[in-house]
Structure 1
Amino acid sequence: MQYSQPMDRPVNPQSPAGDRATPLRHRDDLIAHGLVRPEDGPLLDEVAARYATAIPPAFLSLIETPDDPIGLQVIPSPAELTIAPHERVDPIGDDALSPVPGIVHRYADRALLKPLLICPLYCRFCFRREHVGPEGGLLSDDDLNQAFDWLRARPAIREVILTGGDPLMLSPRRLRRIMDALTAIPHLETIRLHSRVPMAAPDRMTSEMLDALETDRAFWMVVHANHAREFSEAARAALRAIQRRGIPVLGQSVLLRGVNDSVPALEGLLRAMVTARVKPYYLHQLDPAPGTAHFHVPIHEGRALLEALRGRVTGLAWPTYVLDIPGGHGKVPIGPDYIGPAGDSVRDPNGVRRTLGGDVL
């Protein structure tokens, strides 16, 4: 779909599309807001049968045109019906590495805990898109207890990453219960939480939600943002509220065609993170989930983008560019190389080869 004009959002107060307090989820709501073309309705119904849609009000307000860097991330497209040969339902092997419901164990010293598969919005490039949705994956009390028992029995695990779905879509009460249970496991040194909520639904970052995150363990939050415009004033306020609780915040992004695949866009994103006191952590190569090939940026382009930013942005803004090897084999850095093939020279930030002698290299 190609749009060149700012979108027109006719809203009928008597229709579901007129309810600004709830996310847009249905084709008719998307049409009413000018986000999709009516003639694409039948194809969008096919997309909806496979993949969930939700665009919360805070994120909706950032969309200027349906094919801008914000709209592309969350508005369903008929392009999602095209499945490339290399794409996989479970591209990073979560299912094969799940010993009990809600747990993924890929690395020896850490494990994922997915207490639910509900998100504030549903990214069109999500690697878990076959599983997440508004009805999906809330662990029962029995499942949670089984997950906690599994973690207690494995003292080699030093870190738990709360992910999903989005853990900040839980009620504060349920999140508090999970945090208390994890804090009570002696060998867990670090708890990490990955979320889109501060950017997509910042109104959820209430004092009750922040209270639920209290722990005497090292606690880190990783927020997901892909474009500088996601750092709205409301998002920045939510981040400040988190940071005032002494919680360090890291940022992760996915390299996406049409969203952040240019030097100005990627630079703007990284600068917006640092300005908001969010340390860029990972820039992910797109995982090959079904129907996402239209977002693909080849690795050589990603490496060139980062090379162009070396020396142009502060080291505080420099993320690790990573590939999650398909099949569940883990993340590896794929950023640009600066050491020469003979091991006796390096390229400077301007691309000039500099020879170094002695024991420097």
Structure 2
Amino acid sequence: MSVNLRHEELQLEQEKRRVALRRARELKARIDGYLKEKQNIPNGFEIQEEYCQAKAAILNYFQAGEEQWKDWHWQMTNRIRDVKVLGSLLKLTSEELEDIDKVGRHYRWAVSPYYLALAIAGGVKGPVWVQAIPSIEETKDRYGAEDPMGEEFTSPAPAITRRYPDRLIINVTNQCAMYCRHCQRRRNIGEIDVHKPRKALESAIKYIKENTEIRDVLITGGDALLLSDKQIDWLLTELDNIPHVEIKRIGTRTPVTMPQRITPELCAVLEKHPPIYINSQFNSPLEVTPEAKEACDRLIKAGVVLGNQAVLLKNVNNNANVMKKLNQSLLKIRVRPYYIFHAKAVKGTRHFITGIDEGIEIMEQLRGHTSGLAVPTYIINAPNGYGKTPILPQYLVENKGEQITLRTWEKRIIPYNLGGKSH
């Protein structure tokens, strides 16, 4: 090789490196703002001191210890649902307590001791608190619908909701560890906890057997994991015995609101019935705690595949940096962000609803700015049960067959020939 040729090659390599370094500086600049803001967005691991203080106060009130705290039956029995108890645990004004009591006369509320400790640690009126504790705004909603999804008109058999060709829902209970203030099925909560009777579940199983196109069954509620281990085992066995059912899914928020429910005994049941997919609903980074991680670790060890279906909620997560921190925190505990649901116009929840532009902007700030694994799909549920509709930023600017124009995640407008021809 001649000296001149070698010199030219070195110059070319140096130029490539200069281009790469310039590009690296551009990319680094794009994340600087998030890295600074991230320090002000704690997750549940980063507020453990405040959480432990709140937990100690709740245990002291109930005269209980660590053993009871870890028992999900104790957590359920001692759900806080009375303003007197709430007022004894932390300082709230008489007006605040009166407002909570007033809402409670219209809409039931209850929160597990675990989740209340997390809500207190995250701050009164903070992103966890507002999901759990009633707001007077719930009584001011004049526009919301009781059943915006039209579930009562998509139930061809007892306990069944069907909106798609090859899959359906079995609704097994109205019971939850905590009644989310933004719940899409708050009309079903009522005044008492009721599991679906065996007869209704048997009718649902019969419907699935008779409709051989059904390959995917979602068990939900309420919270499906608040059935007993024995009931869960029976239902999963029935589904396993239907040849055309390929997968089972379970909808549950217990890893978030009461991770104590994820016991070794429950996981032993789930391990018997693969493949099982569980989607939970973490809405705030504060909900990603050591206890939640322990619950998820147990489920994963049992062979369960975990996903997350966040709901876009005003003053909870309608911020790109918050959503990014949430999704990155979830990946660290092996939960894959799956959906971001636009909040439904359920009566009493209007104060949670954001604009579509906010959701699209969040997606803009996720795609390309973080791992693809941390980018869920933004979804609006079409009214009256017509299914999930993905909402995406517009990345295809122009389509002329082989010649298209793209808008990249950095908002660069770039022509692209699908056949590789240059122009």
TM-score normalised to structure 2 length: 0.78
Query: Letter of the aligned partner of 2:206 in structure 1?
Result: D
- SS of the residue aligned with 2:383? coil
Tell me the equivalent position of 2:139.
81
Confirm whether residue 303 of structure 1 aligns to residue 363 of structure 2. Answer: no
Long gaps (5+) in structure 2: 1-49, 70-74
**Contact kept in structure 1, 2:249 and 2:276, CA below 8 Å:** yes
Confirm whether residue 103 of structure 1 aligns to residue 163 of structure 2. Answer: no
Tell me the equivalent position of 2:79.
23
**Contact kept in structure 1, 2:250 and 2:277, CA below 8 Å:** yes
Q: CA deviation at 1:312?
A: 1.3
Query: Letter of the aligned partner of 2:128 in structure 1?
Result: I
Distance in 2, matches of 1:334 and 1:283, equals: 10
Distance in 1, matches of 2:58 and 2:225, equals: 29
Distance in 1, matches of 2:338 and 2:88, equals: 38
Q: CA deviation at 1:309?
A: 1.9
Correspondence 1:1-361 to 2 at 5 A:
21=75, 22-34=78-90, 36-63=92-119, 64=121, 65-85=123-143, 87-132=144-189, 135-342=192-399, 344-359=404-419
Distance in 2, matches of 1:337 and 1:152, equals: 42
- SS of the residue aligned with 1:193? strand
Q: For residues 83-137 of structure 1, give each alpha carbon's deviation from its aligned partner in whole angstroms, at most 9, with x where no partner exists.
A: 142x110011111111222111111101101111101111111110111257244
Structure 1, 63-72 or 111-120: larger mean CA deviation: 63-72
Query: Letter of the aligned partner of 1:59 in structure 2?
Result: Y
Query: Letter of the aligned partner of 1:140 in structure 2?
Result: P
Larger radius of gyration: 2
**Contact kept in structure 2, 1:189 and 1:217, CA below 8 Å:** no
Structure 1, 216-225 or 273-282: larger mean CA deviation: 216-225
Q: CA deviation at 1:72?
A: 1.2
Tell me the equivalent position of 2:12.
none
Distance in 2, matches of 1:360 and 1:334, equals: 29
Q: CA deviation at 1:23?
A: 1.6
Query: Letter of the aligned partner of 2:127 in structure 1?
Result: P
Q: For residues 308-355 of structure 1, give each alpha carbon's deviation from its aligned partner in whole angstroms, at most 9, with x where no partner exists.
A: 222211001110000001211111101212110456211111111111
TM-score normalised to structure 1 length: 0.91
Structure 1, 44-53 or 121-130: larger mean CA deviation: 44-53
Q: For residues 143-169 of structure 1, give each alpha carbon's deviation from its aligned partner in whole angstroms, at most 9, with x where no partner exists.
A: 111111111111111111011000111
Distance in 2, matches of 1:81 and 1:17, equals: 35
Tell me the equivalent position of 1:3.
none
**Contact kept in structure 1, 2:251 and 2:279, CA below 8 Å:** yes
Q: For residues 204-251 of structure 1, give each alpha carbon's deviation from its aligned partner in whole angstroms, at most 9, with x where no partner exists.
A: 111111122234542111111001111110110010010011111111
Distance in 1, matches of 2:373 and 2:58, equals: 43
Long gaps (5+) in structure 1: 1-5
CA RMSD, 1 decimal: 2.5
Distance 1:199 1:360, change over 3 A: farther
- The structure with the largest helix share of the pair is 2
- SS of the residue aligned with 1:62? helix
Distance in 2, matches of 1:249 and 1:188, equals: 19
- SS of the residue aligned with 1:340? strand
**Contact kept in structure 1, 2:341 and 2:380, CA below 8 Å:** yes
**Contact kept in structure 1, 2:237 and 2:273, CA below 8 Å:** no
Distance in 1, matches of 2:224 and 2:92, equals: 30
**Contact kept in structure 2, 1:35 and 1:66, CA below 8 Å:** no
Percent pairwise identity:
30
Distance in 2, matches of 1:179 and 1:150, equals: 15
